[in-house]
């Protein structure tokens, strides 16, 4: 098991659009394995590559620890593209490993259709709803340089200003490894 440091709010890579994966080699397979280990160690259900400092269009999901989703299989999404959003929206509380101990209600489409490649670069298209749709949208946003706090009410965001500043300064206690610099980037 290899744990990678998780980038925190304020780290530059979290605001950049990531690069497309051109080929899946041993480094990419190792990154994916390490992302699953890192996500599970931190108690997460989704993790984007830039959350571990990698400038790659990849995210991983495992919601099998969530009640009602025990039979869900872990997913690897490479170069994902959301191709359809439902008109129906739902509000649900979200959190993020890059913004520890902060949660807020976020409105998102209830279902999406997403195309992506697996680790064999085989293309897939899925239509998902509820929790899986929400997690995919959250991680997809990461790959575009967006965070869930970009989608919340401005009054709530004002209340989060001081805690976000503490996270950015790393003036917080977390139980998983985090990046030590705002310029942290994993070299692949």
Could you tell me the two tokens for 41? 């160690």
Is 97:76 a contact under the CB 8 Å cutoff?
Answer: no
Q: Among residues 70, 110, 139, 162, which one is catalytic?
A: 139
Strands (E), the chain: 46-48, 58-61, 75-85, 89-96, 99-109, 111-117, 123-129
| 175 belongs to the catalytic site | no
Query: Nearest CA to 48 among 91, 11, 93, 23?
Result: 11
CA quadruple 146, 151, 155, 156: dihedral sign? negative
d(CA 127, CA 83): 10
Is 164:149 a contact under the CB 8 Å cutoff?
Answer: yes
By annotation, the residues acting in catalysis are: 139
């Amino acid at each position: 098991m290899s744990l990678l440091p998780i980038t925190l709010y304020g780290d530059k890579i979290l605001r950049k659009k990531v690069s497309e994966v051109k080929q899946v080699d041993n480094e990419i397979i190792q990154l994916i394995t390490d992302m699953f280990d890192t996500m599970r160690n931190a108690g997460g259900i989704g993790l984007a590559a830039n959350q571990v400092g990698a400038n790659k269009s990849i995210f991983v999901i495992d919601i099998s620890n969530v009640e009602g989703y025990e039979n869900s299989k872990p997913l690897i999404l490479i170069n994902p593209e959301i191709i359809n959003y439902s008109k129906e929206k739902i509000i649900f509380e979200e959190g993020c490993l890059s913004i520890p101990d902060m949660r807020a209600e976020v409105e998102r489409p209830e279902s999406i259709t997403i195309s992506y490649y697996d680790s064999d670069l085989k293309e897939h298209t899925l239509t998902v709803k509820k929790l899986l749709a929400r997690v995919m949208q959250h991680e997809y946003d990461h790959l575009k340089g967006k965070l869930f706090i970009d989608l919340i009410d401005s009054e709530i965001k004002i209340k989060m200003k001081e805690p976000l500043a503490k996270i950015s300064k790393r003036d917080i206690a977390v139980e998983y490894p985090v990046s030590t610099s705002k310029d942290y980037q994993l070299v692949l």
